[in-house]
Amino acid sequence: MELTDWLLTPGERGNSATRLDSRRSDRAAWSHGNLVRPLIHGATYFPELLSAIRAQRPGDQLLFTDWRGDPDERLDGPGTEIGTVLGEAAARQVIVKGLLWRSHLDRFQFSEAENRHLGEAVEAGGGECLLDMRVRPGGSHHQKLVVLRHPDRPELDVAFVGGIDLCHNRHDDATHRGDQQSLPIAAAYGPHPPWHDIQLAIHGPAVGDIEACFRERWKDPAPLTRSPFVRLRELAHGEDTRADTLPPEAPDPEPCGTHTLQVLRTYPNRLLRGYDFAPDGERSIARGYRKALRRARALIYLEDQYLWSPHVVEAFAEALTANPGLRLIAVIPSVPEQDGRLTLPMNLVGRITALDSLRRAAGGRVAVYGLENHVGTPVYVHAKVCVIDDVWASVGSDNINLRSWTHDSELTCAVLDETTDPREPRDPGGLGDGARGFARNLRLELAHEHLDLGLDLEAPRTSRTPDSLCDPLTAFDAFAASAAALDDWHDNGHRGPRPPGRLRTYHPPSLSRTTKTLCTPLHRLLVDPDGRPFGLRRRNEY
């Protein structure tokens, strides 16, 4: 397999200003020799994060970015509130630096006060946390990363990257009973919304790449906000608005695994003055997906919070049209998180149009599912995962929509395992790439959870475990059969034992022509805006 068949070369990133592709002596646009582990659900991620933070000593470094942070969210029981844990780390002279999205006002159901309070908890311990509003109007910083460095113990260096924020709702497990520290979303999810999510734990040289992403944002000389009203709030709250100098960057950790990792990002094209490290923005997430999709032949497996925008799904539709043996499985929320009279159709209109486009391209080769727990409550799918032909896997903060591909700041990791998987089919795509251990095991672990197939959280799938779901067609049919059985059980009044599995066939609701006409402009303007320069928009390029 040629890595350049799947991964972006430095020129293909489309952003020559970043040092991400030039920081290594070989000028490679990716790093080799990493060990990457998927941490499925907050109940897996949070205790591991807690243990890693508490093991840090004076002089170690903790760098983090987040979309939302609730200082009272517990990582692992009382006394482990994230604000307390970060403040304690700073107090014992760990160098703690954070970048939180400033957020829109709470009255619009955002997290302006919560993010400010988390920053206050960090600074009370002696750390530094900035509220960053260097985004396009209506945009957000959506990256979710934590980097832990240990100058005298580099073998402990680790980066956590994915979709899990340090906030309420995220502390759920595979039973999907929800986080007891909950925020309300659509009524269908109940008082403690079940939550499906994924973060990566990364050891090896790629930790340096994730840190480099943080450092680029931290050193950005632009003011944290352009708004005079926000600057008045900064003064009123006595906020820190100037980033202190970071310690010198340590050498990358030594290789320790078999995973090649490429960091992909989105930064918008900001008006008037762009980012120093991305003057015209960066859309390497979109470019990375589009390159990998051109290689897809057997199965695209998606888990996504949104899956909307006809412009974005065009790349998926083109792959499906060009390859009649290619199938797509998508796992999405059954109901958008906002269910207001206006916000619900604003969210639905983009998804309905996108799914119509996919089904026109491939008909029955496209299967879309929601999830429910064992008492029938829908599970909110917040994961952002894509696995193509059991070769290329992507996990990050980005969703399948224009906002994530062009408008907000995002960070994702594309992983290619250097180790092939010996189970049949050994080369699902038929292009000689061979199935790869990381991508296949990730897909199988998720499939086993959704199908209730002997899930054992202490013993995840490995390349040595025989599994019929390795075959893409078998997996596609198994999802369809499981969802059909559970749908029938519900349709027949719950007679008899509940069938195993959590999958429900997703049927997009119908919207009237009037509703579509009214909501489509609002969807494009507010829900799924486009952050590309005009020329790229016109050509639908990235």
pLDDT tens profile 94-152: 999 999 998 755 444 456 677 888 989 999 999 999 999 999 999 999 999 999 999 99
Of 427, 464, 430, nearest to 444 by C-alpha is 464
For residue 4, pLDDT beyond 90: yes
Residue 230 confidence class, pLDDT cut points 50, 70, 90 = confident
Residue 463 confidence class, pLDDT cut points 50, 70, 90 = low
For residue 191, pLDDT beyond 90: yes
Distance CA(102)–CA(114), nearest Å, equals 10
Helix, coil or strand: residue 182:
coil
Sign of CA dihedral 404, 407, 412, 418: positive
Angle at which helix 437-451 crosses helix 472-491, to 10 degrees, equals: 20
Distance CA(189)–CA(130), nearest Å, equals 33
The count of C-alpha atoms lying within 13 angstroms of the C-alpha of 411, restricted to the half-sphere facing its C-beta, is 29
For residue 413, pLDDT beyond 90: yes
Of 208, 156, 159, 160, nearest to 30 by C-alpha is 208
Residues written for the chain:
542
State residue 372's pLDDT score. 98
Mean pLDDT, residues 207-222: 97
CA distances from 65 to 141, 214, 298 (A): 8, 8, 36
Mean model confidence pLDDT for the chain: 94
Higher per-residue confidence, 158 vs 534: 158
Specify which residues 195 forms β-bridges with: 380
Give phi and psi for 497, each to the nearest 5. -65, 145
Neighbours of 219 (CB within 10 A): 12
Give phi and psi for 524, each to the nearest 5. -70, -30
Mean pLDDT, residues 460-469: 74
Mean pLDDT, residues 504-518: 94
Of 38, 398, 381, nearest to 199 by C-alpha is 38
Element (H, E) at 130: strand 128-132
Residue 457 confidence class, pLDDT cut points 50, 70, 90 = very low
Higher per-residue confidence, 21 vs 457: 21
Pairing of strands 366-372, 378-381: antiparallel
Helix, coil or strand: residue 405:
helix
Give phi and psi for 145, each to the nearest 5. -140, 150
State residue 108's pLDDT score. 46
Residue 235 confidence class, pLDDT cut points 50, 70, 90 = confident
Mean pLDDT, residues 264-277: 91
State residue 232's pLDDT score. 80
Distance CA(486)–CA(477), nearest Å, equals 14
Ordered structural domains, the chain, with CATH: 36-256 (3.30.870.10), 282-539 (3.30.870.10)
Q: Torsion-angle region of residue 390: left (phi > 0), alpha (psi -120 to 50) or beta?
A: left
Amino acid at 272: L
Give phi and psi for 394, each to the nearest 5. -130, 130
Distance CA(524)–CA(28), nearest Å, equals 37
CA distances from 260 to 7, 195, 333, 350, 524 (A): 10, 29, 31, 34, 36
Of 402, 317, 131, 320, nearest to 240 by C-alpha is 131
Mean pLDDT, residues 333-343: 93
Distance CA(176)–CA(400), nearest Å, equals 23
Pairing of strands 366-372, 503-505: antiparallel
Q: Work out the burial of residue 190: count CB atoms within 10 Å of its CB; fewer than 13 is exposed, 13-18 middle, 19 or more buried.
A: middle
457's tokens: 């959280």
Of 253, 281, 73, 254, nearest to 170 by C-alpha is 73
**CB of 167 closer than 8 Å to CB of 114:** yes
- pTM of the complete model: 0.95
Helix, coil or strand: residue 23:
coil
Distance CA(292)–CA(290), nearest Å, equals 6
Q: How far out from the chain centre does Cα 464 lie?
A: 28
Q: Give 474's DSSP letter.
A: H
Residue 321 confidence class, pLDDT cut points 50, 70, 90 = very high
Residue 286 confidence class, pLDDT cut points 50, 70, 90 = very high
**CB of 71 closer than 8 Å to CB of 83:** yes
Cα end-to-end span (Å), the chain: 26
